[in-house]
Amino acid sequence: MRKKINEMKENDRLTQPLLVKDCRNGTTSKGSPYLNLVLQDSSGTIDAKFWDVKPEARKMIHTGAICTFTFEVILYNKNLQLRINRVSQTDPAGVSLDEFVISSGESEEVRRNKAEQFIASIQNDNYRMLVEGMLEKVGLRYFSYPAASRIHHGYLGGLSEHSLSMAEIADGICRHYPFLDRDLLIAGALIHDVGKTAEMSGPVTTEYTLEGRLEGHISLANGWLTEVSEKLGLEETEESVLLHHMILSHHGHYEYGSPVLPMLAEAEALSTIDNLDARMNTLKNAFDTTAPGTWTERMFSMENRQFYRPKKNGGK
């Protein structure tokens, strides 16, 4: 019998295929090799340990592999974890990749329609052409790539889901603060993270590329905007300069990777919206595996805090 990761319970003993999302070597205090694993199916991910792993088993297990694991589900530090006992190769013909890929809750068609509507709503011709040029440059990757490797929106379609969510928040903020330039803020929301389509390897087993590690998505996107601006003959317009600033400053702080700090009201808003959307997605994902009336595990990206998921329906 197979179970989805989000259906697994303590003391379950199962044999089934899972995708290796991450694989790291370890050595016990006695010198025995073991593996720290993150395993995945379409319902989520779970940490796993494979103690005293043998060389022949180690050869089968690598990031991106779909292996058949025999394991038991244990509770460790109040979180479920798998203790792997055996591993074998999986016949690719017997599984579908869709069973192991976490994807956006919105279909690609819905996300495409939202993107088209937001682009069409940009009144300033220069901003609209720059956004269209940037999205044309990254092509289909905009709708398939994740927004991060693990922390937030780290799944198939996460990049566009995150960017469009930010655009929706930005739209509401501009109605509340009408002094903001809506065209600039929407444009920034849609393209601020497009460099991640080169920073990361892809949507299934996401790793950082050499280009991504050495340059980063902010520098990559900033360079692409220069290319697009020059191609359109807009490189000396104020719109191009301001949109460069939106990309360069969207992390909000030097220590978070922004080469400049926000110096436009719209850039300050973009940085705030980016942080809000990332944190809410992180919390949603944590609550998906946290029972009402209990606490999440400590989350490094949230200052190592735990969050309580309240009981609902009158405390039941």
Q: What is the pLDDT of residue 42?
A: 87
DSSP-assigned beta bridge partners for residue 79: 76
Mean pLDDT, each 10-residue run in order, the chain (316 residues): 90 94 90 92 91 91 91 89 95 79 85 97 98 96 83 80 97 98 98 94 78 94 98 97 98 94 98 96 86 88 92 60
Q: 108-283 — its CATH code?
A: 1.10.3210
Q: What is the pLDDT of residue 150?
A: 64
Could you tell me where in the chain the CATH 2.40.50.140 domains are found? 5-99
Please check whether residue 160 is in contact with residue 142, taking contact to mean a CB–CB distance below 8 angstroms. Answer: yes
Residues 6+ apart with CB under 8 A from 202: 144, 145
Query: What is the rounded distance in angstroms from the CA atom of residue 173 to the CA atom of residue 57?
Result: 53
Supply 23's token pair: 């694989």
Could you tell me where in the chain the CATH 1.10.3210 domains are found? 108-283
Q: Is 136 exposed, middle or buried (0-12, 13-18, 19+ CB in 10 A)?
A: exposed
∠ CA 266-153-26 to the nearest 5 degrees?
Answer: 130
3-state secondary structure the chain: CCCCHHHCCCCCEEEEEEEEEEEEEEECCCCCEEEEEEEEECCEEEEEEECCCCHHHHHHCCCCCEEEEEEEEEEECCEEEEEEEEEEECCHHHCCHHHCCCECCCCHHHHHHHHHHHHHHCCCHHHHHHHHHHHHHHCCHHHHCCCCCCCCCCCECHHHHHHHHHHHHHHHHHHHCCCCCHHHHHHHHHHCCCCHHHHECCCCCCCECHHHHHHHHHHHHHHHHHHHHHHHCCCCCHHHHHHHHHHHHCCCCHHHCCCCCCCCHHHHHHHHHHHHHHHHHHHHHHHHCCCCCEECCCEHHHCCECCEECCCCCCC
Q: What is the pLDDT of residue 301?
A: 86
Kindly report the CATH class assigned to 5-99.
mainly beta
Q: What is the pLDDT of residue 97?
A: 75
